[in-house]
Every structure is written in structure tokens, then in C-alpha cells.
Chain A
Amino acid sequence: MKNRFLLAPYLKKILHDQRWVLIFLLLGAVSFEFFYAWIIDATGMLKFVETYLKLLPPAMQNLFNMQPGTAMFSTQILVFGFAHPFIMIILSFLPVSMASRYLAGEVENHTFDIFLTKAIRRNLIPGNLFIFLLIALFFQVCAMLAGMWIAYLYFNLEINFSDYVYVALTAYAFYVSMAAGAIAISSFFSERGKSLAVIIGTLITFYFFDSIIRLNESLSFLRQFSYFQLYQPTELIRGLKSVSHSILISSLISVICLLISLLNFRRRDI
């Protein structure tokens, strides 16, 4: 291959495999954000959620990172759309599924037995998988932002849209780090199912860890060690977290995980 970093036929094949999934996820991200904003803003759901959240104990309010009754509540509830479980599933779907399919899955299916006997450097496989996810996540985050932007224009939302752009940038860095982590984990496995289980298990463990320290004030000192603290849209919009710090740490995690996967995949038995 002429290019030392890009493996164009491989990227083209992955796009060919994932084209419908990608279209579905992009449409899902746009429409979810639009309809989320519509439900919150136009249907009077905002008042209902605010009243409901006020009834919750402070620990539960901490879990959602929202301050019902304040002027910023509408902004907080709208930005929660960027961290809603539905959008989290949409954004983490490709990193989790593709890392397992295109590394461990190909080892398990023996498709690498032909593919890796072609004139390509081995580390281009996890490298280009990462590049694909980098591009796919960029479009997904853009779709998420586009959904909110359409709603912003259509419903005349009283928000500072540039804040949402920064949150989206943080989301991008966070999900890219998740992709790099998933690729690193999958590079150690020879079975797709095991790889998938370990990646999902790890993410669920991290999520529960984060939920526990948010529910329990006495454990707040552990926040700096929680992976999901890197992407807290409501805290970012309230200025409680630094966008640049989150992006920097996420990028660092991405680089380390990518290096692990490149080194491991180059040396491992197929």
C-alpha cells in the first residue's frame, strides 16, 4: 500500500458493511434531539419534569446534575438530551460493536487468514478501524448537534447555542476515547462475544461507579477517577467542569488505548 497510514480498501469495505447502520444512527441522533427539544419545550413537559425533580431527594437530583427552580433549568434539561441513555446508546453503538466485529470477530471467523496475508502492515487494522470510528463519530455528533440546531431555529429556544457546540466537542472526545478503549480491549480477544461482553461490562461498571459517587456525597472525592465524569453535559453547561480539561483527558485516554491496541495487535497470534 502506498499510504503508510490509510488503508483505503479496508475503510471502503467497512463503510460498505456499516452504511445502513450509520444512516440509521445518524437519523436517530438528529430526530432524537429534535423531538427531545420539542417534547421539553413545546409540550409543557419542562414544567412537569421540574416539578417531578423538585420532589426527588437531593441525592437523586445530584444523579441528574440538575437544579430545578433555577433560571438555567431549561438549558440544563435541554442539554441533558446530549447525555440521555438513548443518545448514549446511539453514540456508543459503533465503537462497541465494530471493535468486537472487526478485531476479535475476524480472528474468530478466520477471515484474517486471507486478509492478513496481503501486503499490509498489521497495525493498520486497529489504526484504520479507529480512523473510521473517528469519522463516524464526528458525523454522529454533528447529527446530534444538528437535531438541536433545527429545534433551536424552529422553536426559537432561549439557549446559547455556542455552549451546546462545546458540549458536543466534549461528547466527541469522550466517545472517541470510548472507541479507542473498545479497540484496545478487543485487540486482546479472539472471540467476538467475549470481547463484546468485556467492553459492555467495563462500560456498565464505569457507569455504575459514576452513579454511586454522584448519589453519595461522601464519595465525591472519587469523581476525578470516574471515566463518565469526563462527559457531564449539565455540569459543563453550568461551568462546573472545564471543556478543555475533559477534551484533554479524553484525548490522552484515546492515545494510550490506541497505542496499546497497535502494539498488541502487531504482536499477537491470529
Chain B
Amino acid sequence: MTPTIIETKNLSKYYGKTCGIEDLNLQIKTGEVFGFLGPNGAGKTTTIRLILNLLRPTFGHVLVFGKRVETHYYRIFKNIGVIPGELKLYEELTGLYFLEYMNNLSSGAPVLRNELLEAFQLKPEHLRKKIKQYSHGMKQKLAIIQAFQANPDLIIMDEPSEGLDPLNKNILYQYVRRFKEKGKTIFFSSHYLAEVDKVCDRVGLVKDGRLIAEEQIGQLKKKMVRRMEIKFSREIDTTVFDLPDVQIKSKTGNEIILNVSGDLNPLIDILAGLEIENMIFPEPSLEETFLTYYEEPIFTGPVSEKNSP
């Protein structure tokens, strides 16, 4: 097996003067679940389309399984499952015909199909219907099944949980973990930090077409600045929070807002000795994550609220 499954070298794509992705250097190893995290329009889909040879790079190149994708794509793709971001299926086909059709175009037998159909609760009567009669969630399930059914060594997913309910999202995450256990490689693009946290080993943060950080997920979480709101029973002396990874953001009466990063244990030890009335410690938003690496806010408004799948 090649240790590096996907490698991009100085990969750039421009649409006229507009930059899709610029100077991207990535290395994704065998058996890794790599999260590709970024807001909408950051260049995630462009990168995936370059990896899949749907777009030609302006500069640089992509190696998959050690081979250049522009010239060897039809050999490389024998062993790849893909869930595209902008999902459009052949609406006039039935679900079963679609799965058969996709499998006939690949090389492997659909060894996992029945198991996947059962897991995602797609019954034979669903498969007999035309895809145009499917809901968005059912189409997404079908796309997931076609990607996983031949047990490929590499799966590339572009926001795969879009349109899935929490139950089916969990089934998807279970399969991602199972594939990782089998030593398969997964490229997982998302704009949900919590989702990436659940399944990925390593994460690349992309913004405005540039890779701004590449970290192990554990390290990313350590570096992340998180907001903690605490309401005490009585006013307290703030000097107790004089810790290296804790910063007081504001204090109003009994309420205090802290920015916390790194190891939480020293802070928890201190809080254990204080009388707390209420505490809010939300999952960090994608914006807060990016602020750790990047000074400017990436976006404002409702999108930043979508931090949990």
C-alpha cells in the first residue's frame, strides 16, 4: 500500500481572475480520516473536484494512490467512492437501477450494499421507485450507499450529512469509523466542526481558497479558544482565574465570561471550590475555530450558528 493516498502539490485553480484554491499542499495518509473544514465558498468543493479530475488545475497537480490524477484517473477511480457536494442523481432511474448502474461502472462487487440498505432503512419498495419521487434525505442515503457499496479503499465525501436526520448522520459516522478501523482512507469535507470532531483524525482549515492550518483534531481542540459563561451565587474575586489559558472577557455582577483554551482541568479545579448558579459552555463555532488561526472573522450572521450537525 502507498503510505500517502492523496497528495496535492502547489495546487491552484483560478476561474478567470477569481481564485478557487491557491497553492494547496496536502498529504493524506493511508487509514486516515481527514477533515476538510471551511465555510461555504472557501474552496472545499473546488479542491475535491480537482482531486477527482472534474476540474483541471491552473497550477500544480494531484497524486492519488501515488499516480497523477489527470492521466491515471480511470485506474485510480476503480478504488474510490465519492459523495458529491451538489448532489444530483438520475431522476428517471429507480433507486435500484441507479445502484446497479453505478456499481457496473466501477470494478468491485457491491459487497456492502445489502448491509447499507438495511442500516439506512432503504427498503425494496423504496428502491423500486424512481429517484424523482425521493426526498432529499433519501437521495443522500442513496448517494452514500453507492459510495460505500463496493468497499473502496478511499472515500471522498463533500458535506455528506446534508439532508440527513440525526439518526442517519450517526449511521454515516459509524460507517466512517468502521472504514477507518479497516485501514481505509476518508476525505471528509464539512462546514460543521462538531461533525469533523466526531469522525476525523486530522483536519485542514481552508478559507478564501487557502489552507490556513493543518492539525490533529486533538491539537486543534486544545488550541481553540472557547467561551464559558458562569453565574455565581455571589460576587467573586476574579484573581482566582489568573491561569495561563484563561482570559476574563467581561464581568457583570455575579456573571463572568471567560475565554478558555488548552487544558481545562486547572480551571475546573478552581470552579469546583466556588458556588455556581449556572454555567454555559457551548461547542465552539466554526468562526471561533477560525479566529484561533486567523484574525479576521470569517463570516457573521446565521451561518455561524450552524456549528452542530
Contacts and interface: CB of A to CB of B under 8 A. Distances in A.
Interface of A: 1, 7-10, 13, 16-17, 109-122, 267-270
The 10 closest A-B pairs by CB, nearest first: A118-B105, A113-B84, A9-B104, A119-B78, A117-B82, A110-B88, A270-B54, A119-B77, A121-B74, A269-B55
A13 B101 contact: yes
Given A118-B77, A269-B55, A269-B56, A9 B105 contact: yes
B77 A111 contact: no
A114 B82 contact: yes
A9 to B, nearest CB: 4
Contacts of B143: 114
B89 A114 contact: yes
Contact of B54 (A10, A113, A119): A113
A114 B78 contact: no
Interface in B81-138: 82, 84-90, 92-93, 97, 101-102, 104-107
Contact of B107 (A109, A115, A119, A267): A119
Contact of A112 (B54, B85, B93, B105): B54
Contacts of A8: 104
A101 to B, nearest CB: 11
B80 interface: yes
Contacts of A119: 74-75, 77-78, 105-107
B52 interface: yes
B149 interface: no
Interface residues of B, number: 32
Given A114-B146, A117-B82, A120-B105, A17 B77 contact: no
23 contacts: A1-B105, A9-B104, A9-B105, A10-B105, A109-B88, A110-B86, A110-B88, A111-B90, A113-B84, A116-B54, A117-B52, A117-B54, A117-B84, A118-B102, A119-B75, A119-B77, A119-B106, A119-B107, A120-B105, A121-B74, A122-B73, A268-B56, A270-B54
Interface of B: 49, 52-56, 73-75, 77-78, 80, 82, 84-90, 92-93, 97, 101-102, 104-107, 143, 146, 156
A179 to B, nearest CB: 22
Contacts, number: 72
B74 A120 contact: yes
Contact of A113 (B74, B86, B101): B86
B152 to A, nearest CB: 10
Given A7-B105, A119-B107, 10 more contacts: A9-B101, A114-B102, A114-B146, A116-B53, A117-B80, A117-B156, A118-B105, A119-B77, A121-B74, A269-B55
A113 B88 contact: yes
A253 to B, nearest CB: 28
A234 B107 CA distance: 52
A116 B93 CA distance: 17
A206 B78 CA distance: 44
Contact of A270 (B55, B78, B101): B55
Contacts of B54: 112-113, 116-117, 269-270
B84 A114 contact: yes
A119 B56 CA distance: 18
Nearest to A2: B107
Contacts of A122: 73-74
Nearest to B51: A117
B78 A111 contact: no
Contacts of B97: 16
A114 B25 CA distance: 25
A119 B74 CA distance: 4
Contacts of B49: 113, 270
Contacts of B107: 119
Nearest to A8: B104
B60 to A, nearest CB: 15
Nearest to A13: B101
B68 to A, nearest CB: 14
Contacts of B80: 117
Nearest to A124: B74
Contacts of A115: 105
A118 B101 CA distance: 11
Contacts of B92: 17
A115 B53 CA distance: 12
A118 B84 contact: no
A17 B130 CA distance: 13
Name the residue in A9, A117, A121, A270 with the highest tally of chain B Cβ atoms < 10 Å from its Cβ: A117
Contacts of B86: 110, 113
Nearest to B88: A110
A270 B87 CA distance: 14
B56 A267 contact: yes
A111 B91 CA distance: 10
A267 B106 CA distance: 22
A185 to B, nearest CB: 21
A191 to B, nearest CB: 14
